[in-house]
């Protein structure tokens, strides 16, 4: 189990380029299974979760060529369907939550898809019902092996239909869309997720020959086609990483420029940080954050009541950034209520922040009230363990602002979502070392 040693209390300075979006990459990579032709993808982040999925595709028989750093060409003209029922696959698929999204493309193109119960992190339950209910509505038969926790769907020919999703699941919508593009007839998906990453997937599928209408809305209409061709695609910068760097700059009173952020896809993110008192400047397609030498003050509502920051499906605020918001609130002037609606275990890392000296009241598994220090007392360094990706990066930001040297164990969780994070932080002046 690897560790980071972090000497806190240093101001950082410089510019940083966000990596490709992890959550988009997982969807886009699964979509290469929909065509026997070559699909070239740019800006793929070099992180554990994505690399695991690329390896899974290789094991399935996808030909993978590395063109250059971050760019790969995928050709799925020789898929080994027997691998799907092998013991190796049952083991390989478990370690990665994103592996669920191979089911839709496989079902659409080959008439069957299997997946073991996916693993991933410990942020709470993430149901798979939406995925499989969608496949069943398209005419697939579903089976579940309870002993082996193994799911399977099969169909000779998927048939387009109307469906109202029980929740606006991003991965669920992506999976159903990938199945529906090759179904016979018209599929209408209401209460579809409309995140930028899903818009990217739909646009890419349309370039491959699919016919998807309503992109960016919660009502998608998909006219099925008989086959798809190859294409090229560039993955968006990771909005969660962009939010992490904003939080880092504020907490360490650092002057930072975040390069090439694709502002049009950031949604509410800049505004929520501004509500916490953080100054952000739009400079062409960059975000410039000046050094907050006098700290930052949380805005109250117009009637004077305490600010609440909560997550919601897009275009609401992404749940992945609530951990970051919570950390930076610990040094703000004022108070804020953090309401994590979607995942019931995501706030459990706050006990570590409390141990570091933060003033946080964990009201219940979903809500935490934070009273900011206004930098009058620094967080103190300590040894801690990262429970999941986003809590890990939040603890890392806390450690970089704390007095003394902190140690974070289980950094594999951070590596799952952040590319070469220690190298990139050292480049802007952070004192961080990795120990295996």
Q: Which two tokens stand for residue 48?
A: 């554990």
Provide the Cα torsion 382, 383, 388, 393; round to 10°: 50
Task: Centre a 10 Å sphere on the Cβ of residue 290 and count the other Cβ atoms it contains.
Answer: 14
Residue with tokens 């002046």: 429
Rounded Cα gap, residues 419 and 4, in angstroms: 14
Contacts of 377 (CB under 8 A, 6+ apart): 357
Instruction: Please report, for residues 28, 32, 55, 332, the alpha-carbon distance to residue 40 in angstroms, rounded to integers and kept in the order given.
Output: 10, 9, 16, 44
Q: Which residues are catalytic?
A: 121
Give CA–CA dist 311/285, Å, rounded.
25
Instruction: Give per-residue burial for 380-412: e unless 16+ CB within 10 Å, then b.
Output: ebbebbbbbbbbbbbbbbbbbbbeebbbbebbe
Return d(Cα 206, Cα 401) in angstroms, integer.
Answer: 45
* Residue 159: both structure tokens together: 């048939």
For residues 287, 411, 50, 133, the Cα torsion angle rounded to the nearest 10 degrees is -100
- Using CA atoms, how far residue 31 sits from 193, 307, 331, 428, in Å, is 17, 40, 43, 36
């Amino acid at each position: 189990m690897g560790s980071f040693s972090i000497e806190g209390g240093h101001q950082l300075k410089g510019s940083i380029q966000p990596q490709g979006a992890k959550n988009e990459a997982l969807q886009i990579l699964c979509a290469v299974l929909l065509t026997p032709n070559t699909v070239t993808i740019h800006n793929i982040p070099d992180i554990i979760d994505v690399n695991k999925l690329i390896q899974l595709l290789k094991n399935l028989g996808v030909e993978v060529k590395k063109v250059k750093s971050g760019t790969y060409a995928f050709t799925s003209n020789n898929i080994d369907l027997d691998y799907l029922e092998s013991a190796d696959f049952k083991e390989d698929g478990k370690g990665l939550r994103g592996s669920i999204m191979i089911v839709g493309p496989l079902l659409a193109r080959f008439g069957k898809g299997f997946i073991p119960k996916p693993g991933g992190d410990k942020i709470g339950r993430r149901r798979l019902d939406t995925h499989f209910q969608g496949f069943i509505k398209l005419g697939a038969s579903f089976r579940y092996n309870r002993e082996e926790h193994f799911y399977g769907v099969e169909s000779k020919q998927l048939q387009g239909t109307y469906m109202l999703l029980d929740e606006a699941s991003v991965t669920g919508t992506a999976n159903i869309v990938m199945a529906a593009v090759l179904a016979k007839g018209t599929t209408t998906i209401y209460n579809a997720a409309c995140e930028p990453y899903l818009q990217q997937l739909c646009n890419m599928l349309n370039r491959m020959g699919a016919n998807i209408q309503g992109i960016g809305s919660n009502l998608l209409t998909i006219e099925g086609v008989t086959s798809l061709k190859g294409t090229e695609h560039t993955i968006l910068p990771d909005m969660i990483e962009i939010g992490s760097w904003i939080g880092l700059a504020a907490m360490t009173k650092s002057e930072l420029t975040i390069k090439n952020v694709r502002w049009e896809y950031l949604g509410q993110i800049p505004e929520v940080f501004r509500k916490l008192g953080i100054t952000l400047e739009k400079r062409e397609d960059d975000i410039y954050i000046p050094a907050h030498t006098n700290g930052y003050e949380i805005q109250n509502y117009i009637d004077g009541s305490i600010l609440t920051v909560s997550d919601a499906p897009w275009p609401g605020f992404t749940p992945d950034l609530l951990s970051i918001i919570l950390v930076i609130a610990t040094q703000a002037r004022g108070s804020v209520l953090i309401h994590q609606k979607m995942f019931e275990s995501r706030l459990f890392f706050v006990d570590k922040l409390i141990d570091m000296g933060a003033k946080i009241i964990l009201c219940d598994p979903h809500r935490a009230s934070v009273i900011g220090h206004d930098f009058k007392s620094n967080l103190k360094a300590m040894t801690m363990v990262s429970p999941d990706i986003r809590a890990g990066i939040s603890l890392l930001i806390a450690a970089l602002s704390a007095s003394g040297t902190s140690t974070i164990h289980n950094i594999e969780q951070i590596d799952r979502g952040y590319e070469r994070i220690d190298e990139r932080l050292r480049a802007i002046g952070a004192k961080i070392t990795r120990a295996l």
